[in-house]
Structures are given as C-alpha cells and as structure tokens.
Structure 1
Amino acid sequence: MTHTYQERDVYVAIADPTRRKLIRLLADSDELPLHELTAQFQMGRTAVSKHLAILKEADLVTNRKIGRETRYRLNAAPLQEVKDWLSFYEEFWNDRARLLKKILEE
C-alpha cells in the first residue's frame, strides 16, 4: 500500500529561511490568515501555501478554515526535538570554553 501523505522531517522543514520566517511570524501571533502571511514575503500566495504545506507535513503548523479564509497556527512541540539535539552541542561548546578558560588561567 502506498501512502500519499508522508510525514516530513522537522529538520528538513526548518532548513529553508522562508519556512523559519513563517514559524517566527506564527510564534509572534496566536493565528494568522494566509493573506497576512503572504504579505510578509515577496512571493505569491501559492508559494507561501507550499511552504506552509511542508510545515504542516512536519506537524509544525495547523490550519483551520473560517468561511473562505484559511488561518494558520504554530505547533511548536516538534521543535523540542531540535532543541534537544542542539543542547548536546551547547554543552559541548560550554565544556570547551571552560577548559580553555582553565588553560588560560594556568
């Protein structure tokens, strides 16, 4: 059986600067309609919709229809995976900085 819907990797979804900006815009607001999001970019509504679809496939965005308008909301929960992955490297570099400080003080 083939699936037409495929869950997208959160890292792939946030790799694009346009999608990161969409995430930021949605983080700064409770919910935004497509036309307001599109106004923030120098691209058409279709292109913004495609970026939102990728974010939705990664479960980073939810949407709902109100009449003819589609409104989008951030679901930040999948970003915890990215935070957890980055926290290892944050600790790695903090350890290196402490070691360097110790060496320089000696």
Structure 2
Amino acid sequence: MSETMIVPEGKGFEIDYDNYERNPNRKFPTSEDWWNVFASSGKDEWENCTFKEELLDEVNNDLNLAMVINHFVGSKYQEWMKRKDISDLGGLSPAECIDTNFGMKRLRMLFLQGK
C-alpha cells in the first residue's frame, strides 16, 4: 500500500481560490463572495436536512460548508469526510482540510469547480 503524498500549502488547489482574488469578475468581486452565493443555493435543501446538527458539528459550525456538503454529498457525508483519494485535496481528507486555511480553500474550490 503506497502512502499518499501531501501537497504542501501554496502548491495545491488553493492557488485557484487565491487567483480569483487577484482576477475577480463583475458578478463576484472576491472568491469569498463567489463561495457565499454558491453555498446559499443549497439553503432550501438544508431546511429539510435530517442530520443538520451532526453535519454542522463535523464542519466546525460552518453553515455554508454544511449546506454545500448536504447538497452534493448528502447523508453519506461521514464516509466522504474520511476519503483521502480526492486528488484536488492534495492527499488530505475533507475532514483534514477543515483544520487549515489552505485546506478550506481546496475544499471550497473542489465544490466551486464541480469536481
């Protein structure tokens, strides 16, 4: 079994998130604005989520991230959070990404880019 190499900070998918800050478009002046609008599209679905508290706890009470995970991953989120085979996360699991700024950017870009 080969061990996955961790892509260091500043060398992974977070670069795309940071690049958006330097090259905004008229609709979303910052990557944070882009993320917030994107996440809010899952608001109606979130209202019917039956595992809100558990998911919020898993993502350190980040409501936007919870809404996005609920929309794209759904009730299988606990298994998904442990996955280390998502190449755009650079060897980190989604749960590990939540613990760092660069990891959160990778996680956000994963969803924003529809990967």
Q: Same fold (TM over 0.5)?
A: no
TM-score bucket (shorter structure):
under 0.3
The answer to which structure, 1 or 2, has the higher relative contact order (CA under 8 A, 6+ apart) is 2
Larger of the two Rg values belongs to structure:
1
TM (normalized to structure 1)?
0.26
